[in-house]
Structure 1
């Protein structure tokens, strides 16, 4: 007869190693968000979940853009720095290591999935409105997905790819097979990974490869010869597996955002969450991820009265050059330049009336443009930017990545990032005209020459024009540059005890709903 162990003996015989194997293939809630959540939460919880996720996405954006990281570099460079943000957002789920956590893991996962899914679909509705908002949301969700996918065990990654319909098998050497592991390691540039040993990182070859149809592999990996192709099959090192699945994730989310765009009207009309989602649509891209205080200093807005003062003092190089070049040449900005500058002036504080007055004056410096020409050919652009014509949604200021990615300037054009568009000699002349100190100028040129770190060059420029500033908050968008500069000078004036009577002041806290400001 089989003896049944007493309960006390069963507890004593608990083996953590054996119990841990149960969760080796768990996906830790990683998902493509194909189905909307089916859960009930209070309005307050809905807002908290969404605001927390938005804060995390902004933290990821700042961390990645400050170092200009690619997706494959994120795990070691970014993940350790975002530990607090993940914990505070409640969007982190890790494998259980203790008996207590193993017993509660399933309940934790259910709660995590509910929070994760609700917040994702809420932001999907908020960021589907404009192209710039979609691109930003896509980029940050893609980065978040990579960080989560990297945290999975090998078994879980393989199972997840299979669940998404990607045929993926681990490569195993067999007798008579011409392809060997050693051959793959030598022929695959992406197979070399850096492993930390004794405090230093040393290169090693990836020991695991996966075989999959070449059509499932991103085109960039193939064109860059980062994977081996043979008879319609691609041999992908484990370190690049995340790029394969992330491509599929991005494609699915892009399609889902289009669906959300056509269905957002019903959500915005909901009296419980409609107002909150509208605020996210208007301010989601400008929100600062850090906590805000109701006592935060009010910021100065751009106006016709203070424009000439703020132009050399607080405008980022990409926007300052547009204004100055238009005035120097007495030739109106071409379409790309106007498209870059117009929403920036709007975001910094120009009212619709001020914008119309300013653009009419500046464009009419060109002898070819008269008042009648302006009203006929250019006035509509302002109406469109402020949401008075066209799709009535207005235009948002471009972020630094988009400006940096602008095409090169043709003759007569001025647009894009100063640090990328100008040749070294032209850039040096431009920085000299802006009275950038020589040490800062040399550092800017070094950053561009050695790594094309255009955003870091902009931060260095900011620091040269704002002594003792660390440049925090600069480098993500021109509006961040402007606001950081205004804040710097306002604190400087406060220290001196002087205030300019012509400055228009508006409180930052009044622009955000209480739920977002408290977040």
Structure 2
């Protein structure tokens, strides 16, 4: 893949030696041979990453294959490849552009996510879900064409052959009857590629008898057997091939990474893609700026702060100090909920000067600059963004004297359980959350913490950002107060009994459906904060 410095290349013309994909569904067997601008490189990668992150959220929120899950998958797919998703295949140029985007974006993220076993596992799982959904949306003709193009010898059987083994097909699955068999299309598949379905007793094995289990006649089946697979179950076999191919390709890509080190344009971007938050931007929201003052923070922290920020706040109050990692994580979070620069300086100065070693003059010399820097008033004047869950979980783990990080990721299970109990959770709730954390379901543990703190049975969302937790907490508390509109949130303070009503911050649920042009500003902001400035 080559990179062009011309940012005006938006016509996506396809050269005859470029992408050879002729189907909207791909195994991604051949890397793209194409020229692509750095702008498109980043835009394609972010668009696909949003889809995979959306799939991750859907898997956390809904039961797989439920109507809610399928609706969410449809929404994500249409946002990513709208014309392919709607099967509007008449406009060849538009379809080729979307195939190109699909092809290139997969290989970009393949490079970004091949760096470790955990990243490879995450990428593989969510790419498989995307492929499975797309396969199930294909027409019968599209599936047959895809199988042929990828040399998969899965032969659709004619009607007369199906009727000749009708009884056996009925008996091969206890959940179906004759009418079901007659209404389905069947494929003849080599037995060795249908082992998962054999275990489930969902297929008929010729030369073996009806619905026999794998352990009975292995050798005979391997020599002679053919599996008859309904079209609905064919995805199970194809996805196994997809998994094997992609798993091998990720391993090979990880070995190729050292050869990219000489290209300082690409490697930093790949390194950052795998740990970036691509949701709502919580930096310096005009609708919130100045709405929170230093005196509000104690009251807000009791219920509206996620555990990571509550832990930092309590440590600051107790020790009158935080190390640099804690100041960055907590300070940017406070900025994101609406604490102005002036109030931030007041808050940190008051707390730090309560300690024995720091007076106002020392604070102004050693700490005030960094606070102004976080608000874009010093240095490069970058408007720094509050840390996302992924950044907190995957970067800068806390040391012995630190309190930053994700408590579900970085805290010993016994200590985590103790902290949850001290925060008022029941023994059962603390145990449930601790078990989720032990299983590396850190964000799901945070969602469960939110549900128990706010006494809701189903939060209805996944948490990808501490500021998202804060917003949702304020929203649900505002909705539960009398004479308060659902769209407004109220901030209670401990120093003033009056309440300040502010406009709600609308959750950007439609971010995935923005057009490519409207994403330009968002991408520039994202890249300036995480991937570094783009120099053409």
TM-score, length-scaled by structure 1: 0.55
Contact 2:326/2:402 (<8 A) preserved: yes
Please name the residue that 1:388 is paired with.
Answer: 377
For structure 2, the 5+ residue unaligned runs are: 1-19, 106-119, 136-145, 153-191, 204-212, 219-239, 270-276, 493-497, 520-536
Between stretches 398-407 and 490-499, larger displacement belongs to 490-499
In the TM superposition, residue 492 of structure 1 has moved relative to its aligned partner by 0.8
Q: In the aligned structure 2, how far is the partner of 1:504 from the partner of 1:392? A: 31
2:493 equivalent to 1:505: no
1:44-77 deviation digits (Å, cap 9, x = unpaired)? xx9xxx8x997875453143157589xxxx999x
2:446 equivalent to 1:440: no
Please name the residue that 1:487 is paired with.
Answer: 475
Matches for 1:262-341 after TM superposition, within 5 Å: 285-286=279-280, 301-330=291-320, 332-341=321-330
Contact 2:417/2:430 (<8 A) preserved: yes
After superposition, the CA RMSD in angstroms is: 5.7
2:231 equivalent to 1:239: no
Change (3 A) 1:385 1:317: same
Q: In the aligned structure 1, how far is the partner of 2:243 from the partner of 2:104? A: 29
Please name the residue that 1:89 is paired with.
Answer: 79
Contact 1:343/1:397 (<8 A) preserved: yes
Change (3 A) 1:158 1:481: farther
| Aligned partner of residue 505 in structure 1, secondary structure | strand
In the TM superposition, residue 336 of structure 1 has moved relative to its aligned partner by 1.6
In the TM superposition, residue 478 of structure 1 has moved relative to its aligned partner by 0.7
Change (3 A) 1:194 1:410: farther
Please name the residue that 1:453 is paired with.
Answer: 441
TM-score, length-scaled by structure 2: 0.54
1:55-109 deviation digits (Å, cap 9, x = unpaired)? 875453143157589xxxx999x9956432145326167799xxxx8xx84x455
Q: In the aligned structure 2, how far is the partner of 1:149 from the partner of 1:255? A: 33
Q: In the aligned structure 2, how far is the partner of 1:254 from the partner of 1:425? A: 42
Q: In the aligned structure 1, how far is the partner of 2:359 from the partner of 2:319? A: 17
1:418-455 deviation digits (Å, cap 9, x = unpaired)? 12322233222211221112332121123234x23221
Q: In the aligned structure 1, how far is the partner of 2:262 from the partner of 2:151? A: 25
In the TM superposition, residue 393 of structure 1 has moved relative to its aligned partner by 2.2
Please name the residue that 1:343 is paired with.
Answer: 332
Count of residues paired in the alignment: 372
For structure 1, the 5+ residue unaligned runs are: 1-22, 38-45, 123-137, 160-184, 186-190, 206-235, 263-282, 289-296
| Aligned partner of residue 470 in structure 1, secondary structure | coil
Which gives a bigger RCO, structure 1 or 2 (Cα 8 Å, sep 6+)? 1
Q: In the aligned structure 2, how far is the partner of 1:112 from the partner of 1:203? A: 43
Contact 2:332/2:385 (<8 A) preserved: yes
In the TM superposition, residue 243 of structure 1 has moved relative to its aligned partner by 3.6
Matches for 1:47-446 after TM superposition, within 5 Å: 57-58=49-50, 60-64=52-56, 82-89=72-79, 91=81, 105=89, 107-108=90-91, 110-114=93-97, 153=146, 197=200, 239-245=243-249, 248=253, 258=265, 285-286=279-280, 301-330=291-320, 332-406=321-395, 408-446=397-435
In the TM superposition, residue 143 of structure 1 has moved relative to its aligned partner by 8.1
Q: In the aligned structure 2, how far is the partner of 1:312 from the partner of 1:61? A: 30
Change (3 A) 1:65 1:470: same
Change (3 A) 1:82 1:56: farther
